[in-house]
Amino acid sequence: MLALNIQTSSIVLALFSSVFFTSIVSNYTFAANFGAAGDWGCNSNTGQTVNTIKNKSPSYVAALGDYSYTSTATCWLDKISSIKSKTKIAIGNHEDDDSEGFSQYKSAFSLGNTYYTWTYDHVRFIVMDSDRVSYSVGSSQYNFVLSELQKASVDSNINWIIVYIHKPMYTSPNTCSSSSCSNTGSENRNLRNIYHKYFDQYGVDMVLDGHVHDYQRTYPIKYDSGSPDSPIKTSSNGFDWTDPTGEIFVMVGTGGVNFHALSGKASFVVKQQDDKFGGLVISTEDSGNTLAGRYYTNDGAKFDTFKIHKANFAITSQYTFGPSLTLSGESVNTTK
């Protein structure tokens, strides 16, 4: 009788352990949501954009530059208070000067440097600075970005690489008066001529930016050294790809400050709009094999959906019971 009880107890314990472990594994889906928007301001539209993103339960929020548009960060920090702990900022041209609250932004987000990387759930984010420090060839930022791209491309724990920066490399025609809002502007050309070929080389999946106050999303595009103003569109499919060549560039300058009207549509752009504020939500799905983007306007409508799939990805790291966040950065004064 004792032997039977021991045997029965062993079976029950084994079954319990199996069910418990299976339950934990099945509940871990390798999935996360990331919000993104830039050009926010401090008004009711800003608050609505915060709510649009917050309602999608983001793990983190990529802020794409240009925040309060005043001499301090205070009003914008108040507006985003409910998502501030999840927010990781890029510096834009409206907070890059000392007179625009630059030090307050650095302090509020514990930035040791304005270009850095962070990683969450097999997604490596590389944050660039288009406004405060040099990004030219040979600069500390240049060396840092190339080093991080190379490391991410060979890291078996990284499935997706997303770069975000304030100023765009590519844009449709629009009514913004700044030359940096033009596809042929010198800053736009400099950024793409320096970096886009490296994004291609190291397998970047998505590039997020703002500065132009509207929403634009491209086909997969790669750098064209013969005609840099006109990137090569590598697919005629505008919404769903498996292992595409090139990157999806997404401009999310719709945080709430105002609009720059579109005056045309570039051949490499799939979707664009200039009359509704909102935010982008990026999700990892399908056990990490799919990266999905969905753009929601502040009235609750889903304006755009696109998906990138990886055909041959498998998690090779040791199993853990939840996603993790890591950050790395480098001193601006360090030269490699």
| Statement: residue 329 has pLDDT above 50 | yes
Give one DSSP letter per residue of 273-285, joined into a string. ESS--EEEEEEEE
- CB neighbour list of residue 170: distance below 8 Å, 6 or more residues apart: 183, 188, 192, 218, 221, 231, 249, 266, 268
Rounded Cα distance between 167 and 97, Å, is: 16
Cα angle 291, 122, 164 (rounded to 5 degrees) comes to: 65
Kindly report, residue by residue over 187-235, the tens digit of the pLDDT. Answer: 999 999 999 999 999 999 999 999 999 999 999 999 999 999 999 999 9
Rounded Cα distance between 305 and 293, Å, is: 6
> What pLDDT band is residue 21 in, cutting at 50, 70 and 90?
very low
Q: Which residues of 33-52 are buried (b: 16+ CB within 10 A; e: fewer)?
A: bbbbbbbbbbeebbbbbbeb
> What pLDDT band is residue 318 in, cutting at 50, 70 and 90?
very low
Return the pLDDT at 5.
47
| Statement: residue 19 has pLDDT above 60 | no
Rounded Cα distance between 185 and 233, Å, is: 21
User: Do 253 and 276 form a contact (C-beta atoms < 8 A)?
Assistant: no
Return the pLDDT at 31.
75
- CB neighbour list of residue 22: distance below 8 Å, 6 or more residues apart: none
Q: Phi-psi category of 149—alpha, beta or left, where left has phi over 0 and alpha has psi -120 to 50?
A: alpha
Torsions phi, psi for 288 (to 5 deg): 90, 0
Kindly report, residue by residue over 66-119, the tens digit of the pLDDT. Answer: 999 999 999 999 999 999 999 999 999 999 999 999 999 999 999 999 999 999
> What pLDDT band is residue 43 in, cutting at 50, 70 and 90?
very high
Return the pLDDT at 327.
65
| Statement: residue 324 has pLDDT above 80 | no
Domain extents in the chain: 30-313
Q: Which helix (H) or strand (E) holds 22?
A: helix 2-27
- In this structure, of 98-102, 254-258, 322-326, the range with the lowest mean pLDDT score is 322-326
User: Do 60 and 86 form a contact (C-beta atoms < 8 A)?
Assistant: yes
Cβ atoms within 10 Å, residue 243: 13
> What pLDDT band is residue 313 in, cutting at 50, 70 and 90?
low
Instruction: State what percent of residues in the chain have pLDDT above 90.
Output: 83
- CB neighbour list of residue 18: distance below 8 Å, 6 or more residues apart: none
Cβ atoms within 10 Å, residue 131: 24
Average pLDDT taken over every residue of the chain: 89
pTM over 0.85: yes
- Span 30-313 CATH architecture: 4-Layer Sandwich (3.60)
Token pair listed for 291: 């990266």
Rounded Cα distance between 63 and 168, Å, is: 14
Q: Outline where DSSP puts E strands in the chain.
A: 33-37, 60-63, 87-89, 116-120, 123-127, 160-164, 206-209, 215-222, 232-233, 240-242, 247-252, 269-273, 278-285, 290-297, 302-309, 325-329
> What pLDDT band is residue 335 in, cutting at 50, 70 and 90?
very low
